[in-house]
Amino acid sequence: MRVGTICYATEQGIGYLPKDFYDAGVITDVMVFLHGSRKTHLEWYPPGTVELVQRPFSGPRVESWLRSIDVLLQFETPFDWNVLNLARQFGVRTCIVPMYECTPATIPVKPDRWLCPSELDCQYFPGSPYVPIPVKQDWHLRFRARRFLHNGGNLGLREHKGTRQILEALKLVTKPVHLTVRAQDVRGLRQILEEVFDAKLWGQSSGVFDLSSERVGWRLSAMLGSVHRGQLFAPEFDAFVMAEKYNGLSLPIQEAYASGMLVMTSDRFPMNTWLPRWPLFPVSQYIRARVGGPYNEYDEAVLEPAAIAAKLDEVFNAPIDAYSLEGYEWAQRNSWAALKPKWLEALS
User: pLDDT digits over 63-111, tens only?
Assistant: 999 999 999 999 999 999 999 999 999 999 999 999 999 999 999 999 9
pTM: 0.94
Q: What are phi and psi of 263, to 5 degrees?
A: -105, 120
pLDDT over 90 percentage in the chain:
80
- Topology of domain 147-332, per CATH? Rossmann fold (3.40.50)
Q: What is the pLDDT of residue 310?
A: 98
Q: What is the pLDDT of residue 200?
A: 65
CA-to-CA dists, residue 243 to 88, 122, 132, 266, angstroms: 41, 22, 22, 5
| All structural domains of the chain with their residue ranges | 3-131, 147-332
Outline where the chain has alpha helix (H): 13-23, 60-67, 82-89, 119-124, 163-170, 186-196, 251-258, 305-315, 321-333, 336-347
Task: Please state the rounded mean pLDDT for residues 303-314.
Answer: 98
Residue 74 CA to residue 32 CA, distance in Å, equals 12
CA-to-CA dists, residue 116 to 20, 80, 110, 222, angstroms: 17, 20, 14, 35
Residue 79 CA to residue 110 CA, distance in Å, equals 13
User: Tens of pLDDT along 19-51?
Assistant: 999 999 999 999 999 998 889 999 999 999 999
Mean pLDDT of the chain, nearest integer? 93
> Pairing relation of β-strands 29-33 and 3-7?
parallel
Q: pLDDT class for 155, splitting at 50, 70, 90? A: confident
Q: What is the pLDDT of residue 266?
A: 98
Contact between residue 90 and residue 69 where contact means Cβ atoms under 8 Å apart: no
Q: Is 153 left (phi over 0), alpha (psi -120 to 50) or beta?
A: left
Residue 33 CA to residue 12 CA, distance in Å, equals 14
CATH placement of domain 3-131: 3.40.50
User: Tens of pLDDT along 226-261?
Assistant: 777 777 888 999 999 999 999 999 999 999 999 999
Comparing 95-104, 110-119, 217-226, 335-344, the range with the smallest average pLDDT is 217-226
Q: What is the pLDDT of residue 199?
A: 65
Q: pLDDT class for 206, splitting at 50, 70, 90? A: low
CB within 8 A of 253, min separation 6: which ones? 240, 242, 244, 263, 265, 271, 275
Q: What is the pLDDT of residue 331?
A: 97
Q: Where are the beta strands (DSSP E) in the chain?
A: 3-7, 29-33, 50-52, 71-75, 93-97, 113-114, 147-151, 178-183, 207-212, 219-224, 239-242, 262-265, 285-289, 298-302
DSSP 286: E
Task: Please state the rounded mean pLDDT for residues 114-133.
Answer: 97
Task: Please state the rounded mean pLDDT for residues 278-288.
Answer: 98
